[in-house]
Amino acid sequence: MWLYWSAAALVGALLGMAFTLAVMYGINGALDLSTSPAFVSVESDVSELTSEVDAIQGQIESIETRLKPLKGVTDRVDGLEGDVTGLREEAGSLRQRADDLEKDLDVVSGRITALEEESSHVTEFFGRLGELLQEFFGDEAAVEPTPESPVVTPTPTQ
3-state secondary structure 127-145: HHHHHHHHHHHCCCCCCCC
Q: What is the pLDDT of residues 27-70, one digit of tens each?
A: 766 666 666 677 778 888 899 999 999 999 999 999 888 888 87
pTM of the model: 0.38
Q: Where are the domains of the chain?
A: 34-137
For the chain, give the mean pLDDT: 83
The residues of the chain scoring below 50 in pLDDT are: 143
Report in angstroms the alpha-carbon separations of 8 from 11, 38, 138: 5, 35, 166
How far is the C-alpha of 26 from the C-alpha of 37, rounded, in Å?
Answer: 14
Q: What's the DSSP call for residue 156?
A: -
Q: pLDDT over 90 for what percent of the chain?
A: 39
* Residues 139 and 104: beta-carbon distance below 8 Å: no
Instruction: Give kind and range of the element (H or E) at residue 122.
Output: helix 37-137
The Cα–Cα gap between 154 and 4 comes to: 130
- The CA distance from 14 to 49, in Å, is 39
pLDDT at 72: 78
Distance from the first to the final alpha carbon of the chain:
122
